Structure 1
Amino acid sequence: MDIDINHIIQQSLKGDKNFQEILLKRLRPLIYKNIYKYWDVWDTEAEDMAQEGYIVILMSLKTFDSKKNVHYLHYIKTKLEYFYKNQHRKSGFRTNVSSLQEALHEYKTASSLSSIERIADQEEKYDLMKSIQNLSSEEQKIIYLYYFYGQSMQSISMNLGIKYGKVRSLKRQALSKLSIQMCRR
């Protein structure tokens, strides 16, 4: 049975720990949606930022003023947006492209490869990374989450705040593009 979000919010504001835990689970997609605006899916800092987001939500339960006629969801959405924007400014700017370029550079500069097979394997990885770089940012995120982090498409849908059907479509589209690009190489 699905509990009404307004009931969950009211109980969370009253301090009910069980409902606060439910609220955190319900707001998880909002957290990751904001994180992925500023950090790469594969960035290790993203998971730390998720934990920070949970803390922001819990703290906001104490600071929320219902007398101001603002719904809690609007309040927390705005609070998370500005929190992540400020954290991103503090940590320095990194884009998907720059992270991929760093990964490509690592593949290029791999030292002392001992056999032709290892060299061929590195070449394939390099070509794949270069091809992934040509995908849209949404396609890149889906490919990385699905293949590199082993997340299910349902989980990716929730984390990115994208409908499941769109995630499937984007994944299929990305694989098609990668297939074409890899065949050309």
Structure 2
Amino acid sequence: MCFGKCAKCIGYQLLILAILCIVANILLYFPNGETKYAENNQLSRFVWFFEGIIGAGVLMFIPAGVFIGLEDDDCCGCCGHERCGKSCAMLSSILAAIFGIATSGYCLIISALALVEGPYCSTSDGGWRYPFNETNYSYLADHSTWSQCIEPKNVVVWNVSLFSILLGLSAIQVILCIIQIINGFIGGICGCCCGQKQQSYVC
């Protein structure tokens, strides 16, 4: 197995997931495609944590870029020793993977908290509040209670769908980064398969 190619594959997957997280987070600001709720600060407070835009989004570009470049990175020959350059680069990717776990983990936690708390909406009594805050997320299975939110229209479906997507995507990112930690450790210790035109070595 080529550890460098595996890391590159993980990097591209993280890149795609990061873009999807950014899109999902941006959509949370526009229930039903309307901007007035964001302008009036009538959105769930967890929307403003930028978990998908920054956490699992922009910051995820860093480890993704590191992983994508690993196949051709020899870590400057590892201080002049060309033979151990690939191993050095693979081991250094572990730090990028840990960083990726931290950023995607942030998105995962915030998304889970947002699902537990439920959306911020206008209820039948005319006030804006979190009507599902005390339900211990049981509202997720009891769709009959969703009618409590009158405005924005279908905000419960909107929030549950998008926060669930962010939760799932960030969980996949965490798993991919854990895989890269294992891949980087094995590749760093045992060497890197470099393809037919590059020198290959094992321990």
TM-score category of the 2 structures, normalised to the smaller one: 0.3 to 0.5
Structure (1 or 2) with the greater helix fraction: 1
TM-score (normalised: structure 1): 0.35
TM-score (normalised: structure 2): 0.32
State the structure with more CA Rg.
2
